[in-house]
Amino acid sequence: MLTWLLKPLEPGPLNRTRIMIGAAAAARSLIALPLLLRLSDPQILKTPVFDWMPTPSRPLAFVLVAIWLGSACLLALGWKVHLSGLTLLSALAFMLALDLQTYANHLYLMAWVVLLLVVSDAGAGSRFDPSQRPVARWPVMLIMMQVSVVYLFSALTKINESFLSGQVLAGVLRDGLIPFPDSLRTPAFLGVVAGGAVVTEVFLAFALWLPRLRLIAFVVGALFHLTVALLMADTLELGVFAMLMLAIYPLFRSTLPPARSHAVAAPALTSSRGLP
Amino acid sequence: MTLPSPRLALACAEMSDWRWTPKAAVTVMALFLAFQLTVPAILLFTENETSQRFGWQMFSHAVPDPGFAVVTAAGERKVTLDEVLAGPRADLPLDELVPPFLCTAVPGAIRVTWIKGSYEC
């Protein structure tokens, strides 16, 4: 198992994941700007995480977003992934530490994924580093484990009276791109939807790892994120979260061994691509 | 595209050449997994009526509406969260943060009241 974890991988799938993560981070920087500008308004309550952090201001907002956007684009392009990735990570960490109101779970997730992309040397195979040198497998595995951890704890924390009764959904299923039908806004139906959401997240946490269920998990996950992004506000933020999670899905297929019936073909395929 | 500083270029090249030893890789993996499982688990079992940051507690609780109102000599005025916050979140300790702010932000504020309590300015 340990030997397998330390074996290298072909760079292609991670390269595509890096492009999508970079694009998601770039899009998220633009979504962050209005929040940062509003936070710089003197009439708005500041909730600093640390006293020594600078007070939000308009110049700070523009500088932070410029660095964030620039480094995210460079990461997507694969330019000096260690430099662009660590710069993006710094911008995300700054955003998370600036104020309690600038925290978001998907930003926290993005920071971890960017860190692991840097560790895995995800620039290989990009336009700026076209060498098809292999990348480390173990950080890619950690990125995949991160996805399962997010789904699992997201499900476990929803097992409370407030969520399962449909009360939370009644509040958040409004102002989405597609209005939630009022006729379905009943405690009974919202309770069923809430239970379904918990079951779906638990299923995704495990099914992505199982070859026989992986394709179903891909479809269920894509539909789940699409539904959430369309029915709930804020659609753009939820869209970025969906992009982040779905960008990692293909890694489950490319990194893990295929189903047992196809296992014989795997070594030949790997060696034909010149990997040790 | 080239880097502006030769020193920076060298640092980047060295980082690209970095290879993890098996021992370092296993250590990082173990630390990562321990952190990723322990922190959300602790937060999950911490009794709290609201969400907790760093625990992947997404939409697990609704953003509460404490029903803040500012009392001045002219009377009482309801204050919505959107008026005072840039980004209302379920993990914000609103009862601690909002009343002192309203006392300073609203001229002539005498008291801030909400469903669970009140705060003298």
Contacts of A262 (CB under 8 A, 6+ apart): none
pLDDT at B58 over 50: yes
Over range B98-107, report the average pLDDT: 95
Banded pLDDT at B4 (limits 50, 70, 90): low
Which residue from B12, B55, B61 is facing A80, i.e. has the nearest CB?
B12
Q: A with B: how many residue pairs have Cβ under 8 Å apart?
A: 123
Mutation target vs A (from B10, B26, B32; most A CBs, 10 A cutoff): B32
* B80–A contact, CB cutoff 8 A: no
Closest chain B CA to residue A101: B87
Integer Cα distance of A161 and B78 in angstroms = 29
Closest chain A CA to residue B30: A142
Helix then strand then coil, in percent of chain A rounded to 5, is: 70, 5, 25
Contacts of A225 (CB under 8 A, 6+ apart): A238, A241, A242, A245, A246
Q: What is the mean pLDDT of chain B?
A: 86
Give B99→chain A minimum CA distance, Å.
10
Integer Cα distance of B105 and B102 in angstroms = 5
- B85 with A45: Cβ contact below 8 A: yes
- pLDDT value at residue A275: 38
Over range B16-37, report the average pLDDT: 86
| Residues in chain B closer than 8 A to A79 (CB atoms) | 1
Write a three-state SS string for chain B.
Answer: CCCCCHHHHHHHHHHHHCCCCHHHHHHHHHHHHHHHHHHHHHHHCCCCCCCCCCCCCCCCCCCCCCCCEEEECCEEEECCHHHHCCCCCCCCCHHHHHHHHHHHHCCCCCEEEECCEEEEC
Mean pLDDT per 10-residue section of chain A, whose length is 276 residues:
83 93 98 96 94 96 98 96 97 97 96 96 84 87 97 95 92 88 92 97 97 96 96 92 97 85 45 37
- pLDDT value at residue B5: 60
Integer Cα distance of A211 and B40 in angstroms = 27
Give A77→chain B minimum CA distance, Å.
12
Q: A68 to each of A95, A100, A129, A272, B95, how far by Cα in Å?
A: 10, 19, 22, 39, 33
Closest chain B CA to residue A152: B56
- pLDDT value at residue A130: 78
Which residue from B32, B36, B44 is facing A157, i.e. has the nearest CB?
B44
- B25 with A6: Cβ contact below 8 A: yes
Closest chain B CA to residue A103: B53
Give SS3 for A9. strand
Beta bridge partners of B120: B111
| Residues in chain B closer than 8 A to A156 (CB atoms) | 44
Integer Cα distance of A242 and B50 in angstroms = 24
Banded pLDDT at B9 (limits 50, 70, 90): low
Which residue from A142, A149, A232 is facing B29, i.e. has the nearest CB?
A142
* B109–A contact, CB cutoff 8 A: no
Q: What is the ipTM of this complex?
A: 0.84
Closest chain A CA to residue B14: A82
The CB density around residue A162, as the number of other CB atoms within 10 Å, is: 18
Determine contact, residues A116/A143, Cβ cutoff 8 Å.
Answer: yes
Over the Cα atoms of chain A, what is R_g? 20
Q: Which of residues 17-76 of B touch A (CB under 8 A)?
A: 18, 20, 22, 25-26, 28-29, 32-33, 36-37, 40-41, 44, 51, 53-63
pLDDT tens-place string over residues B74-92: 999 999 999 999 988 988 9
Mutation target vs B (from A80, A148, A175; most B CBs, 10 A cutoff): A80
Give SS3 for A126. strand
- pLDDT value at residue B18: 57
With 0.95 as the threshold, say if the pTM is over it: no
The angle formed by the CA atoms of residues B78, B81 and B83, to the nearest 5 degrees, is 80
Determine contact, residues B118/B111, Cβ cutoff 8 Å.
Answer: yes
Determine contact, residues A206/A148, Cβ cutoff 8 Å.
Answer: yes
- B29 with A121: Cβ contact below 8 A: no
- pLDDT value at residue A113: 98
- pLDDT value at residue A22: 98
The CB density around residue B12, as the number of other CB atoms within 10 Å, is: 20
The residue ranking higher by pLDDT, B59 or A118, is A118
